[in-house]
Structure 1
Amino acid sequence: MGYPATAKRLPWARGVKLLDCDANGLLAVEKPAGVLSHPNKKGDREKALLNARYDESQQAYRILDTEGEVVSTVYLLNRLDSATSGIVLLSLVEDTARSVLKAFEEKKVKKTYQALVFGAPRGGPLVWKDRISVRKAQGGLRASTGGGLSAETKLAKVEPMGGMPPIARLTLQPITGRTHQLRIQTSKRHVPIVGDRTYGDFQKNKLAAKKGMKRLCLHCVGTELEYRLGNRAFRFKVASKAPF
């Protein structure tokens, strides 16, 4: 049984869609909003990508047989917030996982997101540059600008959509991968993401909810990269359509 067949048989959470799996065991799934990239605490297992034990030290899911023996290891290669939907990468092979993680470290992975925001950016640079610091708050993580690590995002496209309040669709390509980066950078520029309950505009969120937009409108629509195994280079590209 090849890797694509193995990937299809994994115990995915409800709503998780397998998008692709290559010959080296690198796979991409589409995660719906509300599903965790991995369990954060006891009781989270049923809310996570896979209904399986998660090894935090290895950053991998362990698939067990009926006798409790490990039959498959699935390495988690990147994460999305629970409220964010879209593409997540995983690997069935440790060497492939290491190679892809190296590509992330070397910033050779291109990720593209789409977001619905209130208002629309006007003028300014096409690359947003900020510094973001992260702290623990109310059992989770909270990011803010000022101090911390450098965060950069390319504003690739702005599509005004009208409405009241006015809404635009942004295509964003993060150059760095900081916690809540896109959410806080849009908020700082007074174009908060629709449905963002942490950094958003709460009054406008209420109006949007009455029109059926009750979720965080942020979705990873594309991921592409090149990784190496031995002397060979492999390209991986996958796309997903935003559900809003």
Structure 2
Amino acid sequence: MNEVRTLFVDAGEDGVRLDRWFKRRWPHLNHIQIQKLARSGQIRVDGGRARPDTRLAAGAQIRVPPLPQAPPPRDRDQLDPREIAFARSLVLHEDDEVLVLNKPSGLAVQGGTKTTNHVDRLLSAWGEGLERPRLAHRLDRDTSGVLVLGKSPGAAAKLAAAFAKRQARKTYWALVVGFPKPGAGLIDLPLAKKGVGDREMVRPADLSDPKAEAAQTEFVTISRAGDRAAWLALSPLTGRTHQLRAHMLAIGHPILGDPKYANEASNALSLGLKLQLHARRLVIAHPSRGQLVLEAPLSPEMRAGFARFGFTEHEAPAEPFGRSRG
């Protein structure tokens, strides 16, 4: 881009930082380049100088100076038609502000050193820059089910805030070894990350531990397969890493198919099963109108577990924790 342009902040971008506003339109720009343009006064907001961390208001006028050209895309980063079709096949709900996917088990949400295929990459099926949806929360790689994204910065921020403020009602289904007694309750057990890299796990910890974080999980037993296994509804009231998996192991009923948070009994019963944890239902306020009630059908991995123990999804009430929870 070789000319100076004037652009306006979209209504869905109200409150976004100036540097992020630039990155969403021109992803090839790095933070140092944006900082230099702002510091030298080449970037201006409503006619005045602005810092990269300035929060923008809807309708603000941005002076955009000539920018470096983006490098040509690398072929390996481009989605082929089959990948685009696969990404689109995951859609549970889509409107002008919200995208909801049924994330498969085994697909990471974001990339890493050894992870090249992930949800974040597949979002290129919707476009780049402002057209690219943004994650509002996360799911573990091997957890299937409802994954919510915002289709504008403003929508993503409102959805993420609902999760952060515990205003989203989340219901997971899990198959566990044995069955809890009592069959319903609240696990209020702080967790702390221990270990490094692939060996990192979250474990119960005392709140005096500087790494400990408060963690609460509601659970309700939906059905039992004798003394061997139980089907539970789980609701994380906090959003700690691996919270549900660590909490179930801590009370002696680890989730089946979990190679990391397991005991001898769950390992024996899990033969041939993948992680039996599914983000089944989510109730969350729409960014601009009403409420979204989202459900994901059982994944093939969960269907295998249900078939093994004789469970049918029709046994479960829509709201196992009641409708009065906030």
1:109 aligns with 2:140: no
1:150 aligns with 2:224: no
1: distance between equivalents of 2:290 and 2:87? 30
> 1:49 — aligned with what?
119
1:223 aligns with 2:271: no
> 1:30 — aligned with what?
102
Q: Which has the larger radius of gyration?
A: 2
Q: CA-to-partner distance for each residue in 1:26-46, whole Å, 9 max, x for gaps? A: 1111111110011122x5232
Alpha-carbon distance, 1:89 to partner: 0.7
Secondary structure of the residue aligned to 1:98 is: helix
1:17 aligns with 2:87: no
Alpha-carbon distance, 1:72 to partner: 2.6
Higher normalized contact order (CA 8 Å, seq sep 6+, divided by chain length): 1
> 2:256 — aligned with what?
194
Q: Give the structure-1-normalised TM-score.
A: 0.77
Q: Which structure shows the higher helix fraction?
A: 2
> Using a 3 Å threshold, how does the CA distance of structure 1 residues 64 and 176 change in structure 2: closer, same or farther?
closer
> 1:239 — aligned with what?
295
Q: CA-to-partner distance for each residue in 1:141-191, whole Å, 9 max, x for gaps? A: 4100013111111113341123xx701100111111111111011111111
Match of 1:81 among 130, 140, 156: 140
> 1:58 — aligned with what?
none
> Using a 3 Å threshold, how does the CA distance of structure 1 residues 51 and 218 change in structure 2: closer, same or farther?
same
> Using a 3 Å threshold, how does the CA distance of structure 1 residues 34 and 226 change in structure 2: closer, same or farther?
same
Asked if the contact 2:143–2:277 (Cα under 8 Å) also holds between the matched residues in 1, the reply is: yes
Asked if the contact 2:255–2:266 (Cα under 8 Å) also holds between the matched residues in 1, the reply is: no
Alpha-carbon distance, 1:201 to partner: 2.1
Q: CA-to-partner distance for each residue in 1:34-68, whole Å, 9 max, x for gaps? A: 10011122x5232x01435xxxxxxxx66697xxx
Asked if the contact 2:177–2:269 (Cα under 8 Å) also holds between the matched residues in 1, the reply is: no
> Using a 3 Å threshold, how does the CA distance of structure 1 residues 140 and 236 change in structure 2: closer, same or farther?
farther
> Which ranges of 4 or more aligned residues in structure 1 deviate by more than 4 Å?
12-16, 61-65
1: distance between equivalents of 2:277 and 2:124? 29
1: distance between equivalents of 2:89 and 2:181? 36
2: distance between equivalents of 1:202 and 1:138? 24
Secondary structure of the residue aligned to 1:139 is: helix
1: distance between equivalents of 2:120 and 2:242? 23
Structure 2: tracts of 5 or more residues without a match: 1-81, 207-211, 303-326
Match of 1:176 among 238, 244, 253: 238
1:167 aligns with 2:229: yes
Percent identity over the alignment is 25
Asked if the contact 1:12–1:49 (Cα under 8 Å) also holds between the matched residues in 2, the reply is: no
> Using a 3 Å threshold, how does the CA distance of structure 1 residues 116 and 127 change in structure 2: closer, same or farther?
same
> 1:56 — aligned with what?
none
Q: Which structure shows the higher strand fraction?
A: 1
State how many pairs are aligned.
214
Q: CA-to-partner distance for each residue in 1:77-112, whole Å, 9 max, x for gaps? A: 111111111111112111111111111122110110
> 1:3 — aligned with what?
none
1: distance between equivalents of 2:184 and 2:119? 36
Structure 1: tracts of 5 or more residues without a match: 1-8, 53-60
